[in-house]
Amino acid sequence: MVQKIFRNFTFNPKNDILSGLTVALALVPEAVAFAFVAGIDPLVGLYGAFMMGLITSLFGGRPGMISGATGAMAVVMVHLIQKGNEVGMALEQPVEMLGLQWLFITLLFVGFIQILAGVLRLGKFVRLIPHPVMMGFVNGLAIVIFLSQLGMFKHNVNGEMEWLTGTTLTIMLGLIGLTMGIMYFLPKLTKKIPAALTAIIVVACITIFGNLDVSTVGSFIKEGGGQGLEGSLPSFQWGIFEISETLNGHWELIFSTAFILAAVGLIESLMTLNLIDELTETRGSGNRECVAQGGANILNGLFGGMGGCAMIGQSIINVTSGGRGRLSGLVASVALLCFILFGSGLIEQIPIAALVGVMFMVVIGTFAWSSFRILHKIPKSDAFVLIAVSAITVWQDLAVAVVAGVIISALVFAWKNATMIRARKSIKEDGTKVYEIWGPLFFGSTTAFNNKFDVADDPVNVEIDFMESKVSDHSGVEALRNLTNKYIELDKKIKLTHLSPDCKILLLKRNPEFATIIEEAIDDPRYYVVTDLLDSEV
């Protein structure tokens, strides 16, 4: 175990370190922007990104995956923080503090919920997400990342955000194009250095030494209302018991927000894990990632960070830059902290255009362009799911889109299987009518199943053969039990053959007298039939 952990930090150190530095640079404006979305100080977002990245890189289930402050969770936090600030104003407490401290308490519950999900091994359910949902999620995410970058094309004019025009816009577009060009062509020449980091350094040198008047990380923070990147290590500066007194009558808001944040964080993290698995052709541990995400959010709640989850854009930057081990995530988080403590002056000079160019390349690499080619070749229902998930991701958020996509896919699957059930009818020489059932019997097909039978007009002896069918759920068992009772009430003799073992057990639990009508059969090469239970009843 120790050897495996050590190898995860040392098998690819150069690429991991360089890609980690690239990711750290890209994390700064993202964390700052999401902090503004949540209505909190940028340093809280940066500390949150540092602590999320540190814990998940060390203990998470997916080496190479990057976690930090995310927009999906930020939009959920807004209402909680605003409500806390309103209560603080009514109690004559510092408005800017109480909402934030409510968030810290909420993050403790978020962490415990996520750890519980990992302990209960719920992470495996991400494997059940259909492929059309995955493709729709990827496409929607690419669009969301692209749209989020459009805000960088605005600047503050007399307190109002207006679009860039003229020379300023031209320079920014030129720098973005240069960044994207370096990232596209450099790997064709050499892959020994990460293209994204090289592009950021080159563009930054051009703007600094060329004395170009462009938007930088520092100006971006100040235009948003922040003071800058300079800060100190976060510390435990708040009393949970004192603050909890302000929550009287508001615990429902805390718990509901905690469950939503936990769900959004886990869905985004596990979907990211699945995507990185496909890109690297390796397999991570969803359950372990749940526990690590929960631990990181608890740490954020205790030490004053924003919290968060896996970041798909930064994870893709890391993987495509060569970062595949835990060292890359560790370097990214530590480098981010060093930027805050020691290198804030330099980082604030990085032009926003360079970071936008990096994110645009992430958009191009994230979008599943193959979906355009296969859209008319796949079933219409799958095409609908793909488009719907993409649209909902843009319109609402990732969690809502994935849940909606899974529900739509499940309903389509149920509808298709509900129409598949058949009943072949025949009469034996002794006058027994035989129904040979084909297709699954479950909640969606019970109505069609019941319509296959003519209970009133059937002869005295009836046999229902499940050789080609499977009773799949409780609804199917109940449908079969009710049908059997109808025949019995009319004093007709019914025989059930080739039932699955689990169906037999459920039927006999509800109706022990059915033991006489379930045929005792020898082992069938196509379907095993248990006879032990029947033997014990005789």
* Among candidate residues 49, 18, 62, 29, the one with its CA nearest the CA of residue 328: 18
Distance CA 101, CA 103 (A): 5
pLDDT level of residue 133 (50, 70, 90 thresholds): confident
Question: DSSP readout, 47-75?
Answer: HHHHHHHHHHHHH-SSTT--EE--HHHHH
For residues 483-493, one letter each, b for 16 or more C-beta atoms within 10 angstroms of the residue's C-beta and e for the rest, the string is bbeebeeeebe
> How confident is the model over 223-248, as a mean pLDDT?
63
- Separation of alpha carbons 153 and 215, rounded Å: 9
Q: What is the pLDDT of residues 402-436, one digit of tens each?
A: 888 889 998 888 888 888 889 999 999 899 999 99
The per-residue pLDDT for range 78-91, each reduced to its tens digit, is: 888 888 888 877 77
Question: CA 12 to CA 301: how far, in whole Å?
Answer: 33
pLDDT classification of 531: cutoffs 50, 70, 90? very low
- Average pLDDT for residues 12-24, to the nearest whole number? 87
Rounded to an integer, the average pLDDT of 128-132 is 83
CATH code of the domain occupying 421-537: 3.30.750.24
pLDDT digits (tens, 9 = 90+) for 296-336: 999 999 888 999 999 888 898 898 888 888 999 999 999 99
Going from the C-alpha of 87 to that of each of 35, 94, 106, 162, the distances in angstroms are 21, 10, 16, 34
Domain ranges of the chain: 17-389, 421-537
pLDDT at 537: 42
Paired with 434 in beta bridges are: 426, 463
309-310 and 67-68 strand pairing: antiparallel
Taking residues 93-104, report their average pLDDT: 73
For 464-502, the pLDDT digits (tens) are: 999 888 888 889 889 999 999 999 999 999 999 988 888
Which of 290-299, 356-365, 529-538 has the highest mean predicted lDDT (pLDDT)?
Answer: 290-299
Range from 41-45, 140-144, 257-261 that averages highest in pLDDT: 257-261
**Percent of the chain beyond pLDDT 70?**
89
Residue pair 279/62 in contact (Cβ under 8 Å)? The answer is: no
- What is the C-alpha separation between 473 and 486, in angstroms, rounded? 20
Q: Looking at residues 20-25, what average pLDDT do you find?
A: 88
Are 445 and 421 spatial neighbours (Cβ–Cβ below 8 Å)?
A: yes
Q: What is the pLDDT of residues 374-409, one digit of tens each?
A: 888 888 889 999 999 999 888 877 778 888 888 999
- Given pLDDT bands bounded at 50, 70 and 90, which one contains residue 116? very high
Q: Name the phi and psi angles at 172, rounded to 5.
A: -65, -45
Residue 521 has a pLDDT of: 46
Residue 1 has pLDDT above 60, yes or no: no
